[in-house]
Amino acid sequence: MRNFNSPKFGHSMGDDSDDDEFDSGTEPEFLMEPYVLEEFPIMEEIEGDEVEEDEGSDYNPNEEIVIGTSSSDEDDSDDSDSDKDDEAGNAGGTEGEDSSTKNSVPKRVIDDYDEEMEEDEVIKAIITEIKKPRSKPPDIKTEDFVTDLCFHPDQDILAVGTTTGDVIVYKFTNDECTIMNTHETHTKSVRDVEFNPDGDVLISTARDRSIMVTDVETGKLKRFWDDAHDEPVYTMSMITEHTFATGDDDGVLKLWDLRQKEPIFKLKEVEDFISCIITNEQKKYLLMTSGDGYLTTINIPQRKMYVQSEPYEEELTCMGVFRKDSKLVVGSSKGNFYTFNWGQFGYHCDAFIGPKAGVNKMVPITERIAVTGGEDGILRAMHLVPGRVLGVVGQHSLAVETIDINSTGELIASSSHDNDIRFWNIKYFEEFDDIKYNSKPDKKAMTHNLPSSKQTNAADFFSGLAGDQSGTEGD
């Protein structure tokens, strides 16, 4: 996956002075699913009083809540389909409309609420964006476990690595996803797959300790390293057009050049697996996190270690660069986030507690916001400088294995252990760039699901609004 900073998004989410006053939010204790975006629209005849009644009857704070998922926008349950048909039929019969048009524009509960009633600008923006239609490719269901995925830098192409050692290349539109090619390159599970910046070759690493370079158009093998590492390769990152770095399960880092047979250099500065490797536009420092809790920085021109952080009592799993390369944020297996000033990688300058579940992946989408995926299967939008949970972008039934963002910054693809790949439209973050956050944000902001999510905790979302409305009518 790439450390992506889309040029379409602004570089600021507000004044720095406002950001510094944030209080770290707390993660919602549960998610509910009485309302599902796009999949289960609630029809117009349902009134606000009925919503309150449903909340009162369905919600039990002492009851264990099970997070539900759905495989695609088209795959609805039989019961829900029949309920929607009945409601649409009743509405159409009342108005005397023809059956061909009665289902054309279903109305949702959220459409009846006015975002201007909210004081928090973030909440207003979320409600506004949820009301807008979203377009994205359908889900992809694979026969084998998906271990990694990567978007093409210019085209609507997605490369997917599997546990069987194959790399499957998909071409996608909003209507369908089709297989372009299948590269049977590895004998064991693929660990990482990346396009080069030009998008003409595909580089893959695997548990069989090999590195394969494949031509995207023809599918032919252009170069390979059979025993690239002594231990299985865990992660990989593109550095320039011709160079890339790999890290293995034993803590060995290697830098490669596609034009050379041997690695440029090799370093071993940690004793556990290397979980993530990134750099910035200057390409001077190469940063890597590891399972033994170290952030290690390599000086690329000098080919030696620049600095290594103090050890953390948890696995450091992912990284992202923010604020015009001035901040580095590192996520951990315990759900903690550590912020480092760029160039000062010995110890963090700020830290905050994120979700209770461990964080596996992080994809920067603006200069201050990232989408993270964790062990609980939830993709969260997080304002990381300073720390604040914004809401749920999407979710899987099992742990999130990998995330990537496309070249335009409008789509995120994620995969989980349930053999599916899901797409999330995140174009609405363009509208969030000019928002100035409140110094003491409402805790409800952490429970609101963002427009791309299929699950919405309606009880939390509307309880305050319904209470305010009923009080006004009583007065």
Residue 382: per-residue pLDDT: 86
Better-scored residue on pLDDT, 130 or 311: 311
Going by the DSSP 8-state scheme, the letter that residue 345 receives in this structure is: -
Q: What is the mean pLDDT of residues 435-464?
A: 53
Torsion of CA 179, 182, 188, 192, to 10 degrees: -70
Residue 355: per-residue pLDDT: 82
Say whether pLDDT at 103 is over 90.
no
Which of the four pLDDT bands, split at 50, 70 and 90, describes residue 8? very low
CB count within 10 Å of CB 198 equals 11
Q: Are 76 and 39 in contact (CB under 8 A)?
A: yes
Better-scored residue on pLDDT, 449 or 64: 449
Q: What is the pLDDT of residues 215-264, one digit of tens each?
A: 998 889 999 999 999 999 999 999 999 999 999 999 999 999 999 999 99
- Distance separating alpha carbons of residues 169 and 189, to the nearest angstrom: 16
Say whether pLDDT at 277 is over 70.
yes
> Tokens at residue 166, please?
């194959």
Say whether pLDDT at 48 is over 70.
no
Q: What is the pLDDT of residues 324-336, one digit of tens each?
A: 899 999 999 999 9
Q: What is the pLDDT of residues 259-268, one digit of tens each?
A: 999 999 999 9
Residue 389: per-residue pLDDT: 83
Better-scored residue on pLDDT, 30 or 363: 363
Q: What is the mean pLDDT of residues 346-359?
A: 90
Residue 36: per-residue pLDDT: 33
| 64 class by beta-carbon count within 10 Å (0-12 exposed, 13-18 middle, 19+ buried) | exposed
Residue 201, helix vs strand vs coil: strand
Mean pLDDT highest for which of 33-42, 75-84, 397-406? 397-406
Better-scored residue on pLDDT, 96 or 193: 193
Q: What is the pLDDT of residues 355-369, one digit of tens each?
A: 888 999 999 998 888
Q: What does each C-alpha distance from 59 to 29, 99, 221, 394, 459 come to in angstroms? A: 14, 35, 56, 22, 7
Residues above pLDDT 90, as percent of the chain: 51
Residue 443: per-residue pLDDT: 52
Q: What is the mean pLDDT of residues 406-424?
A: 91
Say whether pLDDT at 39 is over 50.
no
Residue 427: per-residue pLDDT: 85
Residue 453: per-residue pLDDT: 73
Say whether pLDDT at 182 is over 60.
yes
Residue 107: per-residue pLDDT: 53
